[in-house]
Amino acid sequence: MGGVARYACLWVPRFAAAALARSDPALRGKPVAVLAGPPTMRTVHEVSDAAWAAGVRPGMPVAEAVSRLPGLVRRERDGEAERSAAAALLEVALATSPRVEVEAPDRAQLDVLGLAGLFGDEARLAERLALGAASVDLPARVAIAGSRTAGRLLTRAAPGVRVVPPGAEPAALAPLPVELLALPAALAGTLDRWGIRTLGELAALPPAGLATRLGPDGARLRAQARGEDAGPFVPTAEPVPCVEAVALEWELTALEPLLFVLRPLLERLAARLAVREQGTATLALTCGLADGGLHRRRLSVSAPLREPRTWLALVRADLEGVALDAPVVSLAVEATPVPLVPLQPDLFTPRRPSPHELARTLGALTALVGADRVGAPVVADTHRPGAIGVAPFTGAIARQAAVAALAFARPGTLACRRLSPPRPARVTLEGGAPRRVEAAGLRGGPVTASAGPWRTAGEWWTETAWSREEWDVALPDGAVYRLALDRASGEWAVDAVYD
């Protein structure tokens, strides 16, 4: 096709109703009217396909719409659902082309020139876009043409997928009705009196005479009827976070109903991450409360994933035992997309645990013992025995802990297993050395062999000053223990056992 411009238009008809059906699957296929306006003058903002087929139209008063269709389902316009649907549509487009223009929330236009080597011919590319929109629960129409205007008009003309070969745009647009141009009422009446019914008839009018009689609007409409773009292509920046939200019609006061509402949000997030071929390692949950407050939770896992069942299990573990100040009336979930990592990148490295199972296990442990007590061990910058902290079990820290564990787990190496907390002991000395040891949980008795002492001290300039004396002793049970004497208090303890 050389340098001929090629654009794909991705359009979701009846967008506000489609966004509501996406957020509430129970509305799919039903006659739905999206309401807007002040409470005393409610009107129909948008309708579903089923409501349109029954004669309900945007702009109707609610009473008239209900009289035409008594079974009409009425819902308030949901801005959060529309924003989520618009973001999902943009992500579908960006998964195919890096150059996407967004003129309205319900429409995305892609520069698809030169993408045949990646996705095949334009028919396959159009099908890919339609399937991508369906994967995020959006019933989109797709058209590919030589201009953005032509693609937009073609998507409005008929459902499904359409591809117009280069140079065939005028012939494809000619039979379409002029109503597709969304004419003002006065201008539509003028064209009707002239007998202009199709875009081809409008495009055939002389430009000078049309501009004289209709002014700038006439020249603009004629250019649109010919499929000409009014301005340059302006790409839109890629959105970073994925957000799914829902405003509830009832208050949630228990965990199970909240998880029931949260499940479809996580499933839609997973579908959007799958379109990007990415996952997430962090999930932010915001609960809107009936008293106007917000309750925020943030969950992290060691490796990116996009399985909604795993995330739901983590949210359940995180929220168990949490008492909110008021019932929940809205929910929002935000994920920051990151590349997925392979489970086994190298044949010569130790096998890693599944990120899904690891995330679920860590979530359960966090709920059981607290977030500050779950993580990878980190050695503090001190020689004080037992000075081991816990850091979040993520990325580099987890790998460092695994490498350290492997370094000390060589066959034939004697391991010193510290007891936490150390067990208090009664130690009898003879000649300054331990001769008998008694402690709870071990078979005490006379010391059969000993080595030591090793005296250490440090941090004398702080409140955590310490001074210790350590001995290794063998007891009649055949085990070797590490004894520690706190020289400040004179108390003995069994600090570790050798395995």
Q: In whole angstroms, what is the distance from residue 225 CA to residue 199 CA?
A: 5
Tokens read off for 488 = 């400040």
Give me the pLDDT at residue 105, please: 92
Whether the pLDDT of residue 406 is over 50: the answer is no
Determine the pLDDT at residue 363: 65
Helix locations, 325-430, DSSP H: 355-369, 395-408
Does residue 240 have a pLDDT over 70?
A: no
pLDDT at 277: 84
How confident is residue 393, by pLDDT bands cut at 50, 70 and 90?
A: low
Domains of the chain are 7-163 (3.40.1170.60), 174-225 (1.10.150.20), 243-363 (3.30.1490.100), 376-408 (no CATH), 416-498 (no CATH)
Confidence of residue 372 (pLDDT cuts 50, 70, 90): low
Each residue of 275-289: b (16+ CB within 10 Å) or e?
A: bbebbbbebbbbbbb
Tell me the one-letter amino acid at 52. Answer: W
Please give the mean pLDDT across all residues of the chain.
Answer: 85
What is the total residue count of the chain? Answer: 499
Residues 276-302, mean pLDDT to the nearest whole number: 88
DSSP E strand boundaries for 212-258: 242-252
Residue 259 has a pLDDT of: 92
Share of the chain above pLDDT 70, in %: 86
The count of other CB atoms within 10 Å of the CB of residue 411 is 4
Least confident of 144-158, 341-355, 485-499: 341-355
pLDDT (mean) for 13-33 = 93
Please give the residue that has the higher pLDDT: either 488 or 369. 488
What pLDDT is stored for residue 73 in this prediction?
94
Instruction: Please tell me the predicted confidence (pLDDT) of residue 427.
Output: 87
Lowest-pLDDT choice from 75-79, 358-362, 425-429, 482-486 = 358-362
pTM of the complete model: 0.68
Question: Which range is least confidently modeled, 42-56, 88-102, 275-289, 352-366?
Answer: 352-366
Chain centroid to Cα 499, Å, comes to: 45
Residue 344 pLDDT > 60, yes or no? no
Q: In the numeric block, which tokens belong to residue 95? A: 């998964």
User: Where residue 345 falls among pLDDT bands split at 50, 70, 90?
Assistant: low
Average pLDDT over every residue of 51-63: 93
The confidence score (pLDDT) of residue 360 equals: 65
Q: Considering only CA atoms, which of 379, 471, 464 is closest in space to residue 433?
A: 471
pLDDT band for position 2 (cuts 50, 70, 90): very low
Query: Taking the mean position of all CA atoms in its chain, how far away is CA 147?
Result: 33
Query: pLDDT-based confidence at 408, cuts 50/70/90?
Result: very low
Strand partners, 390: 377
Residue type, 443: R
Given a cut of 50, whether residue 238 has pLDDT beyond it is: yes
**Lowest model confidence (mean pLDDT) among 50-59, 174-183, 349-358:** 349-358
pLDDT higher at 115 or 381: 115
The predicted model gives 157-181 an average pLDDT of 92
- What pLDDT, on the 0 to 100 scale, is given for residue 139? 93
Dihedral sign for Cα atoms in the order 117, 119, 124, 130:
negative
pLDDT at position 361 over 80: no
CB 397 within 8 A of CB 413: no
CA distances from 338 to 140, 230, 306, 358, 455 (A): 27, 37, 10, 18, 50
Q: Is the Cβ–Cβ distance between 28 and 21 less than 8 Å?
A: yes
Position with higher pLDDT, 144 vs 211 = 144
